Structure 1
Amino acid sequence: MNIFHKIISWLLTPIFIFIFFITLCIFHVFQVISLNLFGYKGHKKSVDYMVFWLMQALRVLGARLPNMKQPNLPTDRPIIVVANHQSIYDVPAILWTFRKYHPKFVSKKELEYGTPAISYNLRHGGSVLIDRKDRKQSLTAMNQFSKYIAKNNYAGCIFPEGTRSKDGKMLDFKPAGMLMMFKSMKENPPIVVPVVIDNFWKIQRYYFKPIPFGINFQLKVLEPIDMKIWLEEGNSSTSLIAETEKRIKEALINKA
């Protein structure tokens, strides 16, 4: 960053952080009220509004928001959204893009408490929290989560790298989680949707000291893969994971 860019970034970062946390606190209250008064539908609506405003908050930093146009996918089939992972903002971007399909996340148990709105949504919104140190708990939770997604024809969202990339370079996939999802959803095979996330890593590039001004965030939904057709053509679940990983990597390398 040049000196002017750095000064602007330092001036705007605390304003953004304030707006970010105020938004979380306000919508934490809204989530509690909407869930208790209106059940799942009310709670989901409050989460949709929350992620919309979290994304809009990035404009304070002079950011260009990604194209978050909803993809045209069937609503009578379960969906698995597979994305590379770069930052905390990957989640609201995916939540907003796939809001029509009731996106639920595979997340680490450490996020169960401690963060306003986000932790509450993870506990009550249908996502799954796994303990990465407890393999038995993780597999059991993933099995139950996958059946829940298949039963309701929702979108299960997963970051197979297991952790975020700190420099934008995609890490190798850890296939265990996806394999468990595929196995648990064999009665109602999902549509797998690869998603490419780019430049999101820059928001945490300097660990918020500061957040760079003018980031051009990018999100691209790639061609979906129907697992049912994939298997009928003689392919395996493992090769489906490899193909999904390949498409995301290629899209990152060949980005415009």
Structure 2
Amino acid sequence: MKKFLGYFLTPVATGVFLLILVIFQPIQWVCFRFFGYSAHKKSVDILNLFLLRSVYLLGNTVTFINNQNLPVGRPIIFLANHQGLLDIPPMIWYLRKYHAKFISKIELTKNIPSISYNLRHGGGANIDRKDQRQSITEIMKLGVRMKENKWSAVIFPEGTRSTDGTIKTFQVGGIATILKKCPEALLVPVAIKDSWKMIRYGQYPLNTFTPMKWEVLTPIEPAGRPIEEVVLEAENQIRTALAS
């Protein structure tokens, strides 16, 4: 039944999603061009609030739990499992006070309303996966910006999204690179549960009436510990949270 309803509700939700992107393209441009970083960031925050709310048109729900007393004004690396494109808007909106930036494929910086503009001007790292040197350089620049501005970053250490919710082994490369330039960063795992179910049938139909959950887990101090050890600890925290 949920899949059947998706045939009727998907065009509505997708249409609203795309309309939001188109509307916020000029809003972002004005904010960035005339009012600078702070105004642009607020416009991006609100954009992502609208994007995450658009999934409610499918009867889906988003629950974001953050019971951690995370420091404001200290760089944070949020490590999350990756299940789909919907993973991102709740992270941007609910973690907005931490100025979380993303590491994205450079292909996404073109031809996508609002999203491409933000990737080019929002302060994240846009990497070419075919060019290892360029990727490392961009991530190092992100680490420097995090240190200088007390920003945070969101990393999906699996490297690619899971199509069935199964977690892949976390990779340490990007995290280690950021820590070289921003060693004071705190590592914070985030468990994303069941967002993959919304796209279990692909982009059409989208699944309906699916509860999805994001949960911020116990922070990890990386100082003085092997990077492999702290990343494994984060991975295990997420695995445990998803199994409960």
Under TM normalisation by the shorter chain, which class is it?
over 0.9
Equivalent residue for 1:180, pick from 177, 181, 185: 177
Residue-by-residue CA offset, 1:110-166 (whole Å, 9 max, x unaligned): 111121111110110001101111111111111111111111111111101111001
Equivalent residue for 2:201, pick from 195, 206, 209: 206
Which residue of the partner structure matches residue 236 of structure 2? 246
Residue 180 of structure 1: how far off its partner (Å) = 0.9
Q: Secondary structure at the match of 1:66?
A: strand
Structure 2 counterparts to residues 92-241 of structure 1, below 5 A:
92-186=89-183, 189-228=184-223, 231=224, 235-241=225-231
Residue 68 of structure 1: how far off its partner (Å) = 5.2
Which residue of the partner structure matches residue 2 of structure 2? 5
Query: Which amino acid is 1:241 matched to?
Result: V
RMSD, aligned CA: 1.3
On the 8 A contact 1:78/1:190 being kept in 2, the answer is yes
Residue 237 of structure 1: how far off its partner (Å) = 2.0
On the 8 A contact 2:198/2:208 being kept in 1, the answer is no
- In structure 1, how many angstroms separate the alpha carbons of the residues matched to 2:221 and 2:150? 14
Q: Secondary structure at the match of 2:62?
A: coil
Structure 1 unaligned residues grouped into runs of 5+? none
On the 8 A contact 1:64/1:216 being kept in 2, the answer is yes
- In structure 2, how many angstroms separate the alpha carbons of the residues matched to 1:125 and 1:71? 26
Identity across matched positions, percent: 39
Residue 69 of structure 1: how far off its partner (Å) = 5.1
On the 8 A contact 1:113/1:119 being kept in 2, the answer is yes
What number of residue pairs does the alignment pair up? 244
Q: Secondary structure at the match of 2:137?
A: helix
Normalising by structure 2, we get a TM-score of: 0.96
- In structure 1, how many angstroms separate the alpha carbons of the residues matched to 2:207 and 2:132? 38
- In structure 2, how many angstroms separate the alpha carbons of the residues matched to 1:110 and 1:68? 32
Query: Which amino acid is 1:247 matched to?
Result: Q
Q: Secondary structure at the match of 1:107?
A: strand
Equivalent residue for 1:57, pick from 54, 59, 62: 54
Normalising by structure 1, we get a TM-score of: 0.92
